[in-house]
Amino acid sequence: MSDLTALTAARLVAGYAAGDFSPVEVARAALERAEAAQPRVNAFVRINGEVALADARASEERWRRGEPAGLVDGVPVTVKDILLQRGMPTLKGSWSVREDGRAWDEDAPSVARLREHGAVFLARTTTPEFGWKGVTDSPRHGATGNPYDPERTAGGSSGGGAAAVALGAGPLSLGTDAGGSVRIPASFSGIFALKPTYGRVPMYPASAFGTLAHVGPMTRDAADSALLMDVISAPDPRDWAQLGPVHGSFRDGLSGGVAGLRIAYSPTLGGQVEVDPVVAAAVRRAVERLAELGAVVEETDPDLPDPVEEFHTLWFSGAARITQDFTDEQRAAMDPALREVCEEGARTSALDYLAAVDVRMALGRTMGLFHERHDLLVTPTMPITAFAKGVEVPDGSPLPRWTSWTPFTYPFNMTQQPACSLPCGVDGDGMPVGVQLVAARHQDALVLRAAHALYEAGAADIPGPGPV
């Protein structure tokens, strides 16, 4: 039998149907991997052994009867500890959230859809406090290490989910992304992640970070993300900003290739970003592979000014909204850097906020017109590879905030576009490098199709992390 923890979700479902192995065998293997990985990387807030095995036994019986519940029946999944999950406290990395005194009887929309499709809920994954930054450490749960080097960061804020997928603790993970939070850890940890078009995956409760925040899949490859998107994109009446129902499947056309696609390659966003030469070289090789596959590649820039100050206005005021009713005791227990951000956000006026929205709308117009000429924009996901865990910025950074080293990700939260990260190489220390693909709003299937073409061509093949 193959290593069950190395199989994709699609392969697991096919194996269940063929009787090659059972959901209980897979759940046990994934739980063993999670338990072994936890001391090394601290990817989990809670490992749900009893829950997962109960889910797996129920799935095994459905498969025995030939009546699977849905597309991912029996597949182990992990859920970021930002999203509600029935029967499990949602602690959000913060001491301010109490486990007791609440029923915890509601699923977030994406979690509810997974439950309807028979998923096996393996564990809750780590997040920085309220998911506020691009690395994963919190006062409550400590720092999450990179699966390739536990002394380095896995990225964030969905770092626990990235580490879980990379180490074989379930092939599917749900993350959130309001400034790069699935793409950053995907790049650092050598996996695939998609930030869908805003509203494509319903979200409830609404994020305090407003329409910057997306729910997205974190998986081994693009095909598994397409499968997961077919599950979690279903409508939910609790999200008033959700898009209309999806017509067809995200897996339809996945193998359509990239021949004839008009691809804009922007290595530095017009000279705005200093990129590590090893990263730049790996991303260029991925772009060359797209050209070899028949895409029409042009090195050009979207003329997108860096919206970092406006992003900070929206982001910091959202953080301040989360904590506005905190007591002095609660504030004292917060991540000190988050406390600084909240204090700055609390000084933001309504006019400041609306001015930032004006900039955001202008960025959206710029990118909308850009995609009239180009089907996809390709950039590095990150200008660097993973640095030391437990700090917000790399050593020697002239700026204190995480946005100083994530200039390729947060602009596309401002514009609400679909964007993914997939591996395209490693640096001299064996740490993963990611390439980002961005498309016009609503073109999620195109992003998945192009990423799948790179996987099929071997462009995303990198060595896996060492043994847990």
User: Cα(66)–Cα(305) distance, rounded to whole angstroms?
Assistant: 55
User: Cα(164)–Cα(84) distance, rounded to whole angstroms?
Assistant: 19
CA atoms within 13 A on the CB side of 450: 35
Of 211, 114, 167, 226, whose CA–CA distance to 417 is shortest? 211
Residue linked to tokens 């301040």:
320
User: Cα(134)–Cα(254) distance, rounded to whole angstroms?
Assistant: 30
Q: Three-state DSSP class for 328?
A: helix
User: Cα(451)–Cα(91) distance, rounded to whole angstroms?
Assistant: 33
The answer to whether the CB of 57 falls within 8 A of the CB of 24 is yes
Output the six-digit token pair for 434.
């990611």
Length of the chain: 468
Output the six-digit token pair for 321.
């909204």
User: Cα(159)–Cα(189) distance, rounded to whole angstroms?
Assistant: 8
User: Chain-centre distance of CA 300, in angstroms?
Assistant: 27
Buried b (16+ CB within 10 A) or exposed e, 191-206: bbbbbbbbbbbbbbee
Residue 299, beta-bridge partner list: 265
**CA-based max dimension of the chain:** 62
Residues taking part in catalysis: 80, 157, 181
Residue 153, beta-bridge partner list: 145
Cis link prior to 205 (omega < 30° from 0)? yes
Output the six-digit token pair for 443.
């073109």
Radius of gyration of the chain (CA): 21
| Cβ-proximal residues to 143 (8 Å cutoff; 6+ apart), any chain | 42, 135, 136, 137, 153, 389, 390
User: Cα(230)–Cα(122) distance, rounded to whole angstroms?
Assistant: 20
Cα distances (Å, whole numbers) of residue 255 to 135, 144, 358, 448: 34, 35, 39, 10
The answer to whether the CB of 268 falls within 8 A of the CB of 302 is no
Element (H, E) at 380: strand 376-380
Cα distances (Å, whole numbers) of residue 338 to 134, 181, 334, 386: 12, 16, 7, 21
